Structures are given as structure tokens and as C-alpha cells.
Structure 1
Amino acid sequence: MQYKEITSVQNQLVKQILVLKDKSRERKKTGLFIIEGQRELMLATKANYKIKTVLFYPDLVSDDDLNSLISSEIERIQISRDVFEKLAYRSSTEGIIAIAEMKQHRLEDLIPIVSGPKKNPLILVAEAPEKPGNIGAILRTADAANVAAVIIANPKGDLYNPNIIRSSVGCVFTNQIGVGNTDEIIAFLKAHEVSIYSAILQEAVDYHKQDYTQSTAIVVGTEATGLSDAWRLASTQNIKIPMQGEIDSMNVSVAAGILIFEVKRQRNFK
């Protein structure tokens, strides 16, 4: 099959992709972002992301590979090695770079999850996460526990930063994600009768002493600043992980994993 081909790194589409990768402002303005890798593209397609264009390096990906990943209606562009090496964020990109449309991640889109037939959703809330690696690790943990939704409060950047997609191993696509400010999220959870358990030291009890078998939101903050007072005041109960060493905090994704898997344990991992 003959495809349109790009061989110059000065091509306008190549330049656009580089800007989308590097600039959050450009992603927000256009509503577009970049996906690298066959697994990531497969997960995005499965999650009903709209894929606009796929660029591929034929030495690394075949027509059969492309046909298994995307529908025939999606534009396919063959690229040279120079262009691929210019665009590839990492060496294991597997010859595929795609342009896709962002999702909105509105809280109201989560209403069927928190009010649907599953009466006790488990929701993970992360307030003001900043480091892409931490956000990616949180999303991987949420996927591993099959939480009902992840909500990001007061985000410092956008979810489609290539570092987040890479560090989440595509789990930015596998999770149901909502975004809002802290007050909006607290109101949303309370309106849908979701119990709030905030990981904060003040007025807290050990995390394993609570019953999480009903609708539950586990809320974590950053290592540097923790959670805002709004979460302390809104909590059904503040919870803490007993620390037995010299330091008094741990990585946010590790703390999230400990807490949500205690919820899963109480629910017999259902």
C-alpha cells in the first residue's frame, strides 16, 4: 500500500508534533496531544480516544501491526528514520507516533460511576500533584487496583504531558479521570454520598482501623505540602500510615497504593 511520506525534519507537521510534545499551552489551545508506542496507542484506541493521524517508521512497524491497532479510516503517514529519531521521545517507541484529541475529564462525566449500579465505588483523589513521574505512578497504581475513578484536584499541568503518558505506561487512558478544584470535588463527593478519607496527620487515625466497604474516596496530597485544610475539614475521617523510621512521609504514589489496597483487601479484592 502506498502512503503519504515525510522525509524532512523541517516538515510542518513534524514541527507541529514537536511543539505539541513540548508545550502544554499548545496542547490546551489545539486540544491535541501525542501518543508514542504501540501499547499506548492500543490502550487509547480501546478507551475511545479519537486518533487523527498516525506516523510510522516502516522498519519497526508493519502494515499488519497498523491494521491491528487502528481503523482504516485514520490517516497514516510513513516517515523516514531521521524524522522518526527527531520525533521519538524514547528508543522503545516501536515506530509509532500518533496525534490524538484530548478528553475533557469533567466531574459530571463521573456521575454514572459514583451513582450507578455499583453501589460502593472506590475513588482515588490526588490534590495538586506536580511531578509527572508521581502522577504516572498514581495512575498505574489506580489501574492495578481497578479503582472506579481518579480525580485530580488543582492540577499543576495537563494530563497529556508526554512524561505522564510514558510514566503511566498508558494508564492515563485506562482510568476514568476527572479534574476540578478542591471545593468542586468535595461538593461532588458529598452530593453523591461518597465517604472521604483524607491522608493527613491532623486528627487522624491509623488507616487500617476504618471500614471502607461503602462508597469511598481516598485523598492524598504532595509530600512537600500535604493536603489543604479543606480536605481535613471535609473528611469523614482523616487517616494516616504509621511511620516506623526516621522520616515522617513517603512518596505519594506509594502511600496511595497502601491505602487503596487496604480498601481492596476489605472488599475481598472486588
Structure 2
Amino acid sequence: MLKKITSAQNREIKRLLQLQDKSRNRKKEGVFIVEGKRETQLALKGGYEAVHFYFCPNLVDFDEVIKLAKASEETSPEIIEISLEVYEKVAYRGSTEGVITVFNSREHELKDIVFKNQNPLILVAEAPEKPGNIGALLRTADAAAVDAVIIANPKTDLYNPNIIRSSVGCVFTNQVAIGNTTEIIEFLKNKNIGIYAAALQSSRVYHEIDFSPASAIVVGTEATGLSDQWLENSTQNIIIPMQGAIDSMNVSVAAGILIFEASRQRSI
């Protein structure tokens, strides 16, 4: 028989809420939550293993949930029906699709990155903190089809629900690795990947750079920029000329400009 939950006070529902709200709970259990059919489909396509499917019959057909579950047959995920009241308690979004999935998380180590060509294009973000910015960076990386996204010294858990939501599931479509600045620089140098650090000091205008060889475009926070370690180890610092009164822009916007210039050069 299909398991059903109708009370928001149910212990299992309280666990879901804690998984959403607390990074330490996600890390301790090795799982995270995905809300919505599209995001769930992207996670499944990305090879993530589903553990539980929670669905609200008021919002989604059971047959659709079965199709999702069949895409994760190796883990034999449990399907659980929840009431509309319970779903509204757990769901982040007001307009949603009736599906909440619990997935096993990954380690995202540098050694697991696999490049499909000899001149990969990589986006590196140092110490990103705001989930919305991280999500936007992942969307940009997906749109430009970069080979990998590397996050240095992250301030936020990659499986934060706000990152998953703001990335529109692109956290699952990109090859993502996490590490500290020292080991990432060492990784890039060992792979003979040029390091192009977005910075004001000793910089060249970004469109003057040849990004066709293996390249890593590195961006920092709007408040503090990149650490000295990146500037000391960069192949070339690069800059986006500013025409207004300020000397910086949103990190995801800057990354988009740089990444798409590199992509444009590679398509010529």
C-alpha cells in the first residue's frame, strides 16, 4: 500500500524541514531536497540517486511520479503521498509542481572532474556567499556550456535549496567541484590551464585575451574581489571596462560577459 502523510507534525515531515533549513543536517545524512518536476528530472539526468519521492495528488498525477521513480530504479526510491496542507508546509515556492524529492549528495572533488577535450573552459568563483549569485553563476555556466564550474572556499552549502531554485536545476547540469584556493590553483597548473583572474590590478581588457586554449576564468566577490593568491598566480589579470561611476558589477553579470566572450572566440 502507498504510504500517506496528512499531518505537518509528522516526524518525517519535520525531518524534511530540517534538511531544507540546516546545512549540517544535509551533510550529516548525506542527502538534499529538490522541489519540482523539472529540477528533479535534471537531477536524475545528471545521475543523482533518488531516495524518496513525496508527491501531492492535488498538484501532480501519480503516473508522472511513477515515471520519475523509474528513472532512478537502481536506488528503488520510496514514493510517499502527502496532503496539500503538508506540501504547502514543506514547499518553498508558491507556484509549484507537487513533487519533492530527496537525493543522495556527492562529494564534488577536483579529482573527479573529467574533461572531454584538451582545451576546456572553466569558471572559477572564489568565496561566493549569496545563494542567488551562485545559482546565477551556474545558469550562466550551463548556458555557455563550460566544461566545469569550480567553487573555491565556498561560504554556502551547494545543496542549499535557494541555490537549487535560483540555478533552475543547473547545479545538476554542470560539472561542479569544490576546493580551497591553493589546491584549485595547483589543479589548474598541473592541467596546463591558463588562469585569467578578473581584477583591477595589472589587467588587460578581457576581449584582448585569447581564450581558445585551455582557460579558467576566475571571479571573486563584489565586496572584496579575489584574494592575492589568485593575482600572484594568474596567467593574466583581466578587466571589464566600466563607463559609469562605479568600478564593479554583480559577479554573475561579470562572469557572463567573460564566459560568453570566451565562448564566442571558440565558435569562430
Give 1:157 shift. Answer: 1.5
> 2-side partners of 1:134 and 1:123: how far apart?
17
Q: Answer yes or no: is 1:259 the counterpart of 2:264.
A: no
Matched residue SS, 2:264: helix
2:80 pairs with one of 53, 57, 77 = 77
> 2-side partners of 1:178 and 1:79: how far apart?
35
Could you say which residue in structure 2 is the equivalent of 1:129?
128
> 2-side partners of 1:125 and 1:179: how far apart?
10
Give 1:101 shift. Answer: 0.9
> 2-side partners of 1:257 and 1:143: how far apart?
11
Question: Following superposition of structure 1 onto structure 2, how do residues 1-270 of structure 1 map, counting pairs within 5 Å?
Answer: 2-71=1-70, 73-110=76-113, 112-113=114-115, 116=116, 118-268=117-267
Q: Could you tell me which amino acid in structure 2 is paired with residue 91 of structure 1?
A: G
Q: Could you tell me which amino acid in structure 2 is paired with residue 224 of structure 1?
A: A
> 2-side partners of 1:5 and 1:15: how far apart?
15
Matched residue SS, 1:19: helix
> 1-side partners of 2:144 and 2:52: how far apart?
32
Give 1:29 shift. Answer: 1.1
Among the aligned pairs, what percent are the same residue?
62
> 2-side partners of 1:211 and 1:182: how far apart?
24
Q: Could you tell me which amino acid in structure 2 is paired with residue 108 of structure 1?
A: K
> 1-side partners of 2:65 and 2:9: how far apart?
25
Q: Is the contact between residue 200 and residue 239 of structure 2 (CA under 8 Å) also seen in structure 1? A: yes
Provide, for residues 149-200 of structure 1, a one-character-per-residue CA deviation record: whole Å limited to 9, x for no partner: 0000000021000000000000011100000000000000000000000001
> 2-side partners of 1:134 and 1:85: how far apart?
26
> 2-side partners of 1:92 and 1:169: how far apart?
14
**Total equivalences in the alignment:** 264
- Stretches of structure 1 lacking an aligned partner (at least 5 in a row): none
Please provide the CA RMSD for this pair: 1.0
Q: Could you tell me which amino acid in structure 1 is paired with residue 95 of structure 2?
A: S
Q: TM-score, normalised by structure 1?
A: 0.96
Q: Could you tell me which amino acid in structure 1 is paired with residue 262 of structure 2?
A: V
> 2-side partners of 1:195 and 1:146: how far apart?
18
> 2-side partners of 1:59 and 1:170: how far apart?
24
Q: Could you tell me which amino acid in structure 1 is paired with residue 99 of structure 2?
A: I
Give 1:254 shift. Answer: 0.3
Give 1:92 shift. Answer: 2.4
Q: Is the contact between residue 195 and residue 216 of structure 1 (CA under 8 Å) also seen in structure 2? A: yes
Show structure 1 runs of 4+ deviating over 3 A.
none
Matched residue SS, 1:184: helix
Matched residue SS, 2:267: coil
Q: Could you tell me which amino acid in structure 1 is paired with residue 10 of structure 2?
A: N
Give 1:63 shift. Answer: 2.1
Q: TM-score, normalised by structure 2?
A: 0.97
> 2-side partners of 1:64 and 1:20: how far apart?
27
Q: Is the contact between residue 109 and residue 179 of structure 2 (CA under 8 Å) also seen in structure 1? A: yes
Q: Is the contact between residue 150 and residue 176 of structure 2 (CA under 8 Å) also seen in structure 1? A: yes
- Stretches of structure 2 lacking an aligned partner (at least 5 in a row): none
Q: Is the contact between residue 3 and residue 81 of structure 2 (CA under 8 Å) also seen in structure 1? A: yes
Q: Could you tell me which amino acid in structure 2 is paired with residue 136 of structure 1?
A: G
Q: Is the contact between residue 212 and residue 266 of structure 2 (CA under 8 Å) also seen in structure 1? A: yes
